[in-house]
Amino acid sequence: MIQLYDKRFKLFLKEEEILAAVKKIAEEIAEDYKNQVPIFVGVLNGAFMFVSDFLKHYPYPCEVSFVKLSSYRGLTSTGIVETLLDVPDNIEGRSVIILEDIIDTGRTLQELVHLFNHTNVKDFKIASLFYKSEIYNGEYAIDYFGMEIPNSFIVGYGLDYKEQGRNLRNVYELYPDQMINLVLFGKPGAGKGTQAEFLKEEYSLIHISTGDVFRYNIKNKTKLGQLAQSYMDKGDLVPDEVTIKMLRDEVEKHPDSKGFIFDGFPRTVAQAQALDNLMESKEMKINATIALDADEEILLERLINRGKESGRPDDQNADRIRNRFEEYNTKTAPLQSYYESQSKFHSIDGVGAIEEITERIKGVIEGLRLVEQ
Ligand code: IMP
Ligand code: MG
């Protein structure tokens, strides 16, 4: 996932796939024009990378030139196409092949056809790397294209969003604007904190770990901290009112957030309902709950090791840890059906390399249909 200005984009095509499409067009055109010396006319700015890679795959004599038009501002076409750099002047009687980065509504193309109508070219063809066939409504049939793509906004490989993103080697697709609010589940030691660190970077989210907030308060001996301490010492959960109040404060601290990761809360169905109410009061909602699944014996070992390193007392005693597992099993497990009934529950294999687990979670997030249907 990448961010340009206020927008998030997710990977759509890898460099290899793009280059394969470029090569395919070059070979098709080479076959048709091998007995001539065509002029390739790239459409700036977007087509510069395409033209460059195209020419590397074009094996016969040819010339290259550029025109520059402009119609897009940000995400939507303005419909006004200006000519900023005109047709080359040596094209009379020549075969001209336009190299476009992308064909969307077809307005730019229409303007190009119009521009070249005034010239006495022998032959005029259009080649576009990407072609949004669903929304193209021009009359001119596209002669060559690398790949048909759905009607979404893409950046990279020459294509821009507000002039940025042209330098990216891969192509990325606009990701819906909605917030991503996640709940991370897992028994103690399942790796929620570790994964949350990656996810918050990747999706620009705010990570709210109730455990961390409690520990901070405890360390600083705040009123809430002392209260929470007394419960945590026994391996029990902190009362809901205290926790939800604290969460509300955390959410309110970040009014412009792109989303939140809730880690360590909710732990009961009652808390899940309270969280849903909190979300609703803010016109937000939980999009997905992701459970990191792992065997208790593996977790016990992880926790004991973590306890040795961090000195966290609740991580050093096997009985207390088992008590927390038990707590999770009896109170938290019913949350699964709560979230399943909302079709939000996703279980992830939490055993393996950290990056592998991150990839699994990203798969879930990027598969979410965030746009309301
Ligand atoms: P059309 O005139 O609507 O066909 O749009 C063509 C021009 O709009 C292209 O040359 C691009 O500059 C721009 N454009 C269209 N779709 C996209 C996109 O998905 N990403 C970036 N630019 C685009
Ligand atoms: Mg362009």
Is 247 touching ligand 1 by the criterion CB < 6 Å? Answer: no
Structure tokens at 185: 């589940």
Q: What is the distance in A from the centroid of ligand 1 to the CA of 72?
A: 6
Question: What would the pLDDT profile of 31-64 be if each residue is shown by its tens digit?
Answer: 999 999 999 999 999 999 999 999 999 999 999 9
Q: What is the distance in A from the centroid of ligand 1 to the CA of 54?
A: 19
Question: What are the sequence ranges of the domains in the chain?
Answer: 2-174, 180-372
Mutate to test the pocket of ligand 1, among 43, 104, 142 (most ligand atoms within 8 A of CB): 104
Question: What would the pLDDT profile of 198-217 be if each residue is shown by its tens digit?
Answer: 999 989 999 998 888 777 77
Is 291 touching ligand 1 by the criterion CB < 6 Å? Answer: no
Q: What is the distance in A from the centroid of ligand 2 to the CA of 160?
A: 8
Atom 16 of ligand 1 has which residue's CA nearest to it? 104
Is 156 touching ligand 1 by the criterion CB < 6 Å? Answer: no
Higher local confidence (pLDDT), 189 or 89: 189
Q: What is the distance in A from the centroid of ligand 2 to the CA of 33?
A: 25
Domain 2-174 carries which CATH code?
A: 3.40.50.2020
Is 350 touching ligand 1 by the criterion CB < 6 Å? Answer: no
**pLDDT exceeds cutoff 60 at 72:** no
**pLDDT exceeds cutoff 90 at 96:** yes
Q: What is the distance in A from the centroid of ligand 1 to the CA of 69?
A: 11
Write the CA distances from 354 to 147, 311, 324, 360, integer angstroms: 35, 23, 23, 10
Ligand 1 atom closest to the Cα of residue 47 is 10
Is 154 touching ligand 1 by the criterion CB < 6 Å? Answer: yes
Query: Do the domains 180-372 and 2-174 match in fold?
Result: yes
Q: What is the distance in A from the centroid of ligand 2 to the CA of 101?
A: 7
Half-sphere exposure of 59 (CA within 13 A, CB side): 8
Number of neighbours of residue 135 by Cβ within 10 angstroms: 12
Atom 3 of ligand 1 has which residue's CA nearest to it? 105
Domain 180-372 carries which CATH code?
A: 3.40.50.300
Question: pTM for this one?
Answer: 0.73
pLDDT for 341: 95
273 CB contacts (<8 Å, ≥6 apart)? none
Q: b/e map of 167-202 (b: 16 or more CB within 10 Å)?
A: ebebbbbbbeebbbbbbbbbbbbbbbbebbebbbeb
